[in-house]
Structure 1
């Protein structure tokens, strides 16, 4: 049996104008088949300028049309989609040009649920749900309309998935996980595994059963290989619109506020609370049981060890230097404590 075919999107500028809610300047019958960078665009391509540093590339760009700020529209001789936020318009356009499967295989015999999938009789699948090869959907699970369960996925007992959720291949949802509408979970992600909870009795670590679950809101995206642990008692909560990059660890009982972005290889220890509209850079470590307020940005490779209660940009760590200079500075840094004590003694002996 053949798989679903990829349908290559194609739009006129008039259609794109309506779909993206931006005006057209120039020939709105121009047909667009793909997006491309300014440097590599050719006939049939739509490109964009979001960063002024690339403005010099406009002169040589071969795109059939451009997404531009209205202030730059007079500088080019090709049709334009005019946007006050070209990068956001490009982001929305990219969704239109993503390849989508058609409704059936080449012979029209593609079935929505692959024959090798294992689905409990007590699971509920909404309309237009697709389930890939070797996927497992356990008892009591509910899958919303239009959702896609990729090959080798496991949807555990009593999970709840909203409408138009996409699980790419080999995603694992433990029991009781809840996903809102339009969530995207990339391959290898594990949601709902036990939180890292143990009590030491003097000789050994005694496991604390993790009795909570994971609740994820609408429009959340979770990157490949990321792990979100279930709560010990209360749920781990990921609010609407959160974007989580690849290989991120979120510990038990964490709460991540709406529209926060967490970049790759960051780790949140248990019971961390992050506010709304935060940006956590790549490789950031956040120790547990602290809070970060709304609209905080933490620079890459920083270590957060205290609560942050004021919006702003925060950084830690040592910036990259030539190795010999770094070594000299490291030696100096190791002597600061002694130097500080000497300064204090000198200050005590100064006349008033």
Structure 2
């Protein structure tokens, strides 16, 4: 198990170190835990003041916290302007996640003309087809499929059972979780007198650098042009991205959200869970959507948008539903009253 000293961690995240008790700069930290459960050799963090009550009772060796919380801390503190970012950096340093694959497994099927950089790993029963280019330190997990003429950049990791269809491009330092499908056909059909005629999807999926994609997400290839996921995008589990969608740099999408075909999501946007976006619309940069928002038209002004209804008791919901049915008649009555009032 890897361990780092308190001073090493402080230097790593750019924090000031405030020692307590018998701790020294060389005291070793081997893992992270919550304030409530951390113990000797573990570090925790406080990024939300509502959990301050847990700080006074923590047994953590050290805590990452904001300068305003230092006076409340009974143990060694790593003081950081953004404790949550500090937590993320320490978690990376102490990460014990195993590799998706190590070396070339004897059951892997790799075409003879595949171009592989240094230290590439391909897991058991994975298939890498002809014309594929794999950069240095790429990891292809067990049971994954990489179709013809794909390109996967350096240090990108595909976990087990990922499917990457032909001609797809994935950049450097990307992470794709299990059961995700990249480059499947978009939902393109023409209706001929009730009969559906399939439209071949001839574009690609092009994914930039430092993109992370959750488990069981699907990203469809473009119909003619490409589906494009820009640098720094993060996508959660079970997200559906339709053909010819474009997602701008550093945007984020949470689980079970859907973007219909040919829509464009700008840079630095955030989409909470269960949101839906109509096709052929454009969302400007720095737009943010709360859970269950249904976006039916383009957004031209940055800001926070909502449309989902929070849950209420069934009795209250039933009463509201009854009133909702009366809205049209009530609106007409108000209109009639306004006309009567205007005649006086």
TM-score, normalised by the number of residues in structure 2: 0.95
Distance in structure 2 (CA, Å) of the matches to 1:229 and 1:36: 38
Match of 1:279 among 254, 270, 278: 270
Stretch of structure 1 that moved more, 138-147 or 184-193: 138-147
CA RMSD of aligned residues (A): 1.5
CA distance in 1, matches of 2:129, 2:181: 16
Q: Is the deviation greater in 164-173 or in 201-210?
A: 201-210
Matched, 1:218 2:231: no
Which whole-Å deviations, capped at 9, do the CAs of 1:96-146 have from their partners, x for residues lacking one?
A: 1211559xxxxxxx9710000000111111111111000011111111111
Runs of 4+ in 1 over 6 A off after TM superposition: none
* Whole-Å separation in 2 of the counterparts to 1:242 and 1:193: 20
Unaligned runs of 5+ in 2: none
How far does the alpha carbon of each residue in 1:158-195 deviate from its partner, in whole angstroms, 9 at most, with x for none?
Answer: 11111110100000000011111110000000000000
User: Does residue 1:227 correspond to 2:224, yes or no?
Assistant: no
1:111 and 1:66, CA in 2 relative to 1: closer, same or farther beyond 3 A?
Answer: closer
Q: Counterpart in 2 of 1:255?
A: 246
Separation (CA, whole Å) in 2 of partners of 1:50 and 1:167:
31
Question: 1:349 and 1:70, CA in 2 relative to 1: closer, same or farther beyond 3 A?
Answer: closer
CA distance in 2, matches of 1:111, 1:51: 39
1:12-51 aligned at under 5 Å gives the runs 12-26=5-19, 27-51=24-48
* CA shift for structure 1 position 197: 0.4
1:153-302 correspondence runs (5 A): 153-302=144-293
- How far did 1:346 drift? 2.2
Q: How does 1:107-122 map to 2 (within 5 A)?
A: 112-122=103-113
* Residue-by-residue CA offset, 1:203-243 (whole Å, 9 max, x unaligned): 31111111100011111111100000000111101111111
Task: Measure, in 1, the Cα distance between the counterparts of 2:330 and 2:117.
Answer: 69
1:54 paired to 2:45: no
Cα 1:155–1:75 shift into 2, 3 Å:
same
What SS does the aligned partner of 2:197 have? Answer: strand
1:66-81 equivalence runs, <5 A: 66-81=63-78
Aligned residues: 338
Q: CA deviation at 1:77?
A: 4.1
The match for 1:63 among 60, 64, 71 is 60
Give SS of 1:24's match: strand
Gaps of at least 5 residues in structure 1 are: 1-7, 103-109
Q: Secondary structure at the match of 2:316?
A: helix
Q: Are the counterparts in 1 of residues 56 and 74 from structure 2 also a CA contact under 8 Å?
A: no
In the alignment, the residues of structure 2 paired with residue 148 and residue 96 of structure 1 have an alpha-carbon distance, to the nearest angstrom, of 20
Name which of structure 1's ranges 76-85 and 180-189 shifts more when overlaid on structure 2: 76-85
> Separation in 2 of the partners of 1:283 and 1:173?
25
